[in-house]
Amino acid sequence: MHDMFEKILKSGSKAVVCHPCSIWYMDLAFDIAARYEIPIIVAGWTKGQSTKQGMMSKCGCNTHSPEFKAMGEATVDFLNKELNDMPKYKDFPKSMDEVLKKANKKHKSIVVSPHWFLPFGPEVYIEVIKKELNWKVPKVSYPEGSTNCSLNFISVYNSMKNFGYTHYHVEMSKLIREGVITREEALESLKLNFDKELLNSIAKKLNYKFD
């Protein structure tokens, strides 16, 4: 995926870095489920990443909702236009809808995310992994206290620059409306707590530098 991420940055595309990655790992998950006739895929989507439900037959990344329209269109545009000169991606799905359509033809796996129906939030299971695995909260992460990958910092920076908000703002807005967190808690978690130096230390691996 490195070449694709590098292309997103160097082309100036507004594609959200997280989207192609999600498309890739869900395509891979459905392929493995079909190969071994696995009926259930256990996912890690959180309460804010989809509407309230116990399980579903598709996936939790709803890029069709109005809040994600511009982001989703930018990603689809990138996948359809910018990868034409990169043969290694000739079979790469152009959208999550394409992934799901292909998956349904092979094997109808159900996707379930326990976080949707557990009666508590991450504060409970974080304490479990701290105790059982000696896990430590990253010194810098976005949103604060999360376990997202380092490339997420670039995704957040570009989303704020291109759209004025990130998908985390959308997710936390849902949680506020559902009474799971307060607006003050969301604003605290969503504070931008990183700088260009961190961005460039990550982008260096993709042969890119932020001005």
The pLDDT of residue 64 is 62
The kind and range of the H/E element at 42 are strand 40-42
The pLDDT of residue 48 is 72
pTM of the model: 0.86
Q: Is the pLDDT of residue 147 over 60?
A: yes
pLDDT tens for each residue of 149-186? 999 999 999 999 999 999 999 989 988 998 888 999 99
The pLDDT of residue 80 is 93
Nearest CA to 208 out of 158, 161, 148, 165 is that of 158
DSSP bridge pairs for 112:
42
Mean pLDDT of 133-153: 90
Mean pLDDT of 47-70: 63
Q: Are 121 and 127 in contact (CB under 8 A)?
A: no
Measured CA to CA, the distance from residue 93 to residue 186 in angstroms comes to 33
Q: Are 115 and 46 in contact (CB under 8 A)?
A: yes
The pLDDT of residue 45 is 80
* Percent of the chain whose predicted confidence (pLDDT) is above 70: 92
Q: Is the pLDDT of residue 144 over 90?
A: no
Beta pairing class for 40-42 and 110-112:
parallel
Q: Is the pLDDT of residue 99 over 60?
A: yes
Q: What is the pLDDT confidence band of residue 62, given thresholds at 50, 70 and 90?
A: low
The pLDDT of residue 50 is 59
User: Residue 114 is which amino acid?
Assistant: P
Q: Is the pLDDT of residue 52 over 70?
A: no
Nearest CA to 43 out of 151, 169, 57, 190 is that of 57
Q: Is the pLDDT of residue 146 over 80?
A: yes
Map residue 204 onto helix, strand or coil.
Answer: helix
